[in-house]
Amino acid sequence: MSSDLEKARRRFERETELRIGEAQREAQLRVEEARRDAERALTQVRTAVETEVGILPKKKHVLFLLAGGAAGLALALRRRKSKRRKLKR
């Protein structure tokens, strides 16, 4: 009886290891696919920056400065419009 239990335990462990291995492979494939999607999106962003700005900065901090400047300008223009509306009332 104990040998039957031992066989069942070993079979269960093998099946579990196979399932775990399969799940890990599937997860790895999903990670690789997400990485490829992110790389494609980054390429599109770089192309858009190069098209709009005319140059493609190589350093991340320069991109952040450009994005921050654009966001600040947009925010300043938006506030300016809202102040004009308040003054007209």
The token duo for 71 is 């966001």
pLDDT computed for residue 82 by the predictor: 56
pLDDT computed for residue 3 by the predictor: 87
**Which residues make Cβ contacts (< 8 Å) with residue 56, sequence separation at least 6?**
46, 49, 50
pLDDT computed for residue 73 by the predictor: 77
Tens of pLDDT, residue by residue over 12-21, are 999 999 999 9
> What residue segments make up the domains of the chain, in order of their start?
1-56, 57-89
Question: The whole model's pTM is what?
Answer: 0.47
The span from the CA of 28 to the CA of 56, in Å, is 32
The residues of the chain scoring below 50 in pLDDT are none
SS3 content of the chain, % helix, strand, coil (to 5): 90, 0, 10
pLDDT computed for residue 72 by the predictor: 80
